[in-house]
Amino acid sequence: MAYEKKQTEHAHADHQGHTAEHFREKHLMLDPLPRGQMNDMVMESMLEKPTWKYWAVIGILSFIVVYFLFYKWGVLIAKGQGVAGVMRPDYWGIFLVNTVFWIGISHAGTFISAILRVFRAEFRRPFTRAAELMTTFGLVQAGFSIFMHMGRVWLAYWLMPYPNQRMLWPNLHSPLTWDLLAITTYLLSSTMYLFLPLIPDVAMARDRSTGWRKTFYKTLALGFRGTEGEWTHLRNAMNIFAFAIIPVMFSVHTIVSWDFAAATRPGWSSTIFGPYFIVGALHSGMGAAVVVIAVIRATMKHMKYFIRSEHFDAIGKLMLIISMAWAYFFFNDYMVQWYGGDKWTQQLLHFHEAGPMGWMWFTMLICNIVVPWAILWNPKWRATPWLVGTVGIIINVGMWFERYIIIPISVTINRMPFTWRLYKPGIEIPMGIGTLALFILLYMIASKLIPLIPVWEVQEGQMAHELKKFGRETVVTVSELE
Amino acid sequence: MATLADLKISEVKLAAEQTGKWGMVIDQDICTGCQACVAACAMENNVTFVGEVDSGYGRSMHWIRIERFWEGEYPEVKMTPNQPMLCQQCGHATCEPVCPAFATVHSQAEQLNLQVYNRCVGTRYCANNCPYQVRSFNWRDYQRPEPLPNQFNPDVTVRRVGVMEKCTFCIQRIHKAQDKAKSEGREVVDGEFTTACAQACPANAIVFGRVDDPESLVSQLGKQSHGVKHLEELGTLPNVTYFKGG
């Protein structure tokens, strides 16, 4: 009897922690607000009068973009690639590092909004838009970076298949041509995929704004009124895109990796580069997504309601798993190359670890493996926004180093030892900072122009979730809405 | 000398049989490292001078370079024979398929790797993929100080900033000789002309000619057993044979 009583007491104590309030506090999906109020909150967060801090940051970023990105680019075009650090044998430098880096960042958007949507991961709902914006803005930087790299950028259109009198087409044997086609496809499809779920939200904004904003949202909303038929069409379109964009996402970074893997260079001719690059892209992408979400939560009004610790906890788990997957692929890539015993590859691996840039190799491993594993295993730390955000920044530093090691450091070692020489970056550094500034600037402007929270998606999720009481037990139920 | 053509792999054999019209033999044992070939090549092909600073940073634009290596640990260092390195005019070149703009192409008539300067957009993929690292990129619009602009070779294009360039086996000389022979109604005779580097070599370490003609000097020399082709294991089918330690 005593045992039984103890059991009930214990169970009761347990339930103390699982009351309805407890659930509501923890989970956005179980904490519904009236729809009108939620819409107003999102509108307010967007229309809130910018503080002087906002303008100061915008001013600094604009200066960086104008001077470091566009003015320096003019210098680069006028004077040639000699103002950058590239030379023989490092024909490829930081511009391509940045290209791969930004394409990697762009992968998180699709991963979060397409894959998590397909798998019905409910925690995705409040930040799909923030992630999709990252995809589009990241790809813009990637495009800029690859054009900076070209020796004669004013002839970039020659890489496009367009009808011309000389019947010259781009060389479809070249991985760079595949790359261009893949990135263009990805940019177009991810922009469309950003736009589709935006339609109900801009329609909501249209109904709640005046002046030029009204015209702006009216144009974007394409006359969406929220009828049954419109929702059916929109859902169908989003479903098609969600499934179709996943293979596009996988193919893009695989093809980026083929730029290297298809080349005859020690360290590059690796069959595992495709999945290794995809996992690396997700690693940096999730890291960047969590930084963006943490910043939005800290700076924008009402965002603490929409973005909660549960979301950081969920992304933190994903980051931890992706970090483990990255470690697996890194080890696999390293192990097979080392075991292969090719003398050039062995030289290269030795150069990675013990060469003058060896510190970067070790920092990469610390940033990409040690830090995420040491911090993200702990549920409490994982749910702390600033901490997870810091881990996100550290992962991105590590992933940038990874690309730096793969490109300029690896091409230092080739089969002609006479040409070995260490790469010293020049104008690439300020121009790379310029792309980062442009990314942040675009994001800050977008946060004032479009609803960063897909409010209809949150409301849909909240309608599907319900708290029910079975006896003394409060349980969460989810119904299928679609 | 066992060549790739002796392998029983049909594609390799086919490619090896098809390839090679013009070739070169370089005897490292008699090369003195005097750099006359480098200077002659620059004169003949309007190769620009990049200056001390850029050259020191690895941006020299020589189409042929003399590589020197040391063997052993200090103080017992031994210099290895000088190794002139130029475009190997591969029969199965790695630079060709990677160019997105078709600026790096294989000539069917001459069986050489050509660089189409005005088609080049400067992605530098070809140079990255060249295992011999013999391609030069125009990193800047290098100015030639007076009186150097007066010695341009009118038969060769002057390249500008942002394009890749490399050794052509003096294709302008090949064409001149072929045109002359054609107008005289005969074939090009072996030794009738040669490349600038071979012409300038005081030790006659460089011999140029038809490798598909078994009677030519370059074919006869190429039969020597100590000839090697660099990085042949990559399947590039290079057309330059090196002699070392004969």
CATH 1.20.1630.10 fits A52-478, yes or no: yes
Between B105 and B5, name the one with better pLDDT.
Answer: B105
pLDDT per residue, tens digit, chain A (482 aa), is 444 444 444 444 445 456 778 888 888 888 888 999 999 999 998 988 888 999 999 999 999 999 999 999 999 999 999 999 999 999 999 999 999 999 999 988 888 888 888 888 888 889 999 999 999 999 999 999 999 999 999 999 999 888 888 888 899 999 999 999 999 999 999 999 999 999 999 999 999 998 999 999 999 999 999 999 999 999 999 999 999 999 999 999 999 999 999 998 888 988 899 999 999 999 999 999 999 999 999 999 899 999 989 999 999 999 999 999 999 999 999 999 999 888 999 999 999 999 999 999 999 999 999 999 999 999 999 999 999 999 999 999 999 999 999 999 999 999 999 999 999 999 999 999 999 999 999 999 999 999 999 999 898 888 888 888 888 888 888 887 65
Flag if A150 and B163 touch (Cβ within 8 Å).
no
DSSP A111-135: IIIIIHHHTT-GGGGGGHHHHHHHH
Interface test with A, best of B123, B126, B134 (most A CBs within 10 A): B123
CATH of the domain at B39: 3.30.70.20
Mean pLDDT of chain B: 89
Residue of chain B minimizing CA distance to A421: B58
Q: State yes or no: cis peptide before B75, omega within 30 of 0.
A: yes
Nearest beta carbon to residue A158 from set B59, B101, B131: B101
Q: Residue A307: helix, strand or coil by DSSP? A: coil
Flag if A151 and B161 touch (Cβ within 8 Å).
yes
Flag if A80 and B94 touch (Cβ within 8 Å).
no
Instruction: Encode A375-413: b = buried (16+ Cβ within 10 Å), e = exposed.
Output: bbeeeebbbbbebbbbbbebbbbbbbbbbbbbbbbbbbb
Between B235 and B208, name the one with better pLDDT.
Answer: B208
Chain B residues whose beta carbon lies within 8 Å of the beta carbon of residue A176: 98, 100, 123, 125
Q: Which of A372, A355, A296, A314 is nearest to A112 (CA)?
A: A314
Flag if B100 and A89 touch (Cβ within 8 Å).
no
**pLDDT over threshold 60, residue B2:** no
Nearest beta carbon to residue A87 from set B58, B120, B161: B58
- Residue pair A151/B123 in contact (Cβ under 8 Å)? The answer is yes
Q: How far is A387 from chain B (nearest CA, A)?
A: 40
- Residue pair A232/A163 in contact (Cβ under 8 Å)? The answer is no
Number of domains in chain B: 1
Flag if A171 and B101 touch (Cβ within 8 Å).
yes
User: What is the number of CB-based contacts under 8 A between chain A and chain B?
Assistant: 141
Can you list the pairs that B4-12 forms with residues at least 24 positions away whose Cβ atoms lie under 8 Å?
B4/B232, B4/B235, B4/B237, B12/B235
pLDDT at A332: 94
Residue A11 CB: number of other CB atoms within 10 A?
11
Q: Which of A92, A415, A351 is nearest to B234 (CA)?
A: A415
Nearest beta carbon to residue B58 from set A81, A264, A419: A419
∠B142-B148-B153 over CA atoms, to 5°?
95
pLDDT at B15: 56
Chain B residues whose beta carbon lies within 8 Å of the beta carbon of residue A411: 128
Domain carrying residue B181: 4-243
**Interface residues of chain B, partner chain A, Cβ below 8 Å:** 54, 57-60, 65, 67-69, 83, 85, 94, 97-102, 119-125, 127-129, 131-133, 136-141, 161-164, 231, 234
Query: Any idea what DSSP says for residue A49?
Result: P
Q: How far is A415 from chain B (nearest CA, A)?
A: 6
Backbone angles phi, psi at A367, to 5 degrees: -70, -40
Q: Residue A467: helix, strand or coil by DSSP? A: strand
**Interface residues of chain A, partner chain B, Cβ below 8 Å:** 79-83, 86-92, 149-153, 155-156, 158-159, 168-171, 173-177, 180, 259, 262-265, 411, 414-419, 421, 424
pLDDT at B115: 94
List all residues 6 or more positions away from A469 whose beta carbon is below 8 Å from its beta carbon: A475
Query: Any idea what DSSP says for residue A208?
Result: T
pLDDT at A394: 97
Flag if B141 and A173 touch (Cβ within 8 Å).
no
Q: State yes or no: cis peptide before A32, omega within 30 of 0.
A: no
DSSP chain B: ---GGGSS-HHHHHHHHH--SEEEEEETTT-----HHHHHHHHHTTPPP-HHHHIIIII---SEEEE--EESSTTS-EEPPPEEEE----TT-STTTT-TTS-EEE-TTT--EEE-GGG-----HHHHH-TT---EE--S-PPPPTTGGGG--TTSPPP-TT-EE---SSHHHHHHHHHHHHHTTSPPPTTS---HHHHH-TT--EEEEESS-TTSHHHHHHTSTTEE-TTGGGT---SEEEE---
**pLDDT over threshold 80, residue B167:** yes
Q: How far is CA B223 from CA A69, A130, B5, B12, B118, in A?
A: 57, 68, 14, 20, 39
d(CA B105, CA B110): 12
